[in-house]
Amino acid sequence: MIRITLHLSPEVEAKCRERIASGDAIALEQLLAGVFAPTVQALLQPSPNPIQQKDEFEAIANPLADELTDSLGPDVPTLSDYAVSRAGIYHGHP
């Protein structure tokens, strides 16, 4: 399911309310189609290259991970496999 929220200007909202009050479904559909058109165009734009996104993420995440490792030092205990498992994370929660 895709949920799309439209933010209407006060003027467009007033026009929608007028068309609803008058029962003019066709005029309301036309008004909403015009408001929704830019959203449709945005949805149809190609998504960014996932490889590029991964490279950008790595460029940010790797220095942060290195900085964290340096600040914690060598004697930081690691979490057990159980602690990071689903059962460990939700332990005690039904």
Contacts of 8 (CB under 8 A, 6+ apart): 16, 35
Task: For the chain, 94 residues long, give each residue's pLDDT as a single digit of tens.
Answer: 878 888 899 999 999 999 999 999 999 999 999 998 988 888 888 877 777 888 889 999 999 999 998 898 888 888 899 999 999 999 888 7
What pLDDT score does 53 carry? 82
Rg value, the chain, Cα: 25
Count of CA atoms in the C-beta half-sphere (13 A) of 66 = 6
What pLDDT score does 80 carry? 93
Domain ranges across the chain: 10-44, 50-89
Nearest to 28 by CA among 9, 13, 6: 13
Query: For the whole model, what pTM was predicted?
Result: 0.44
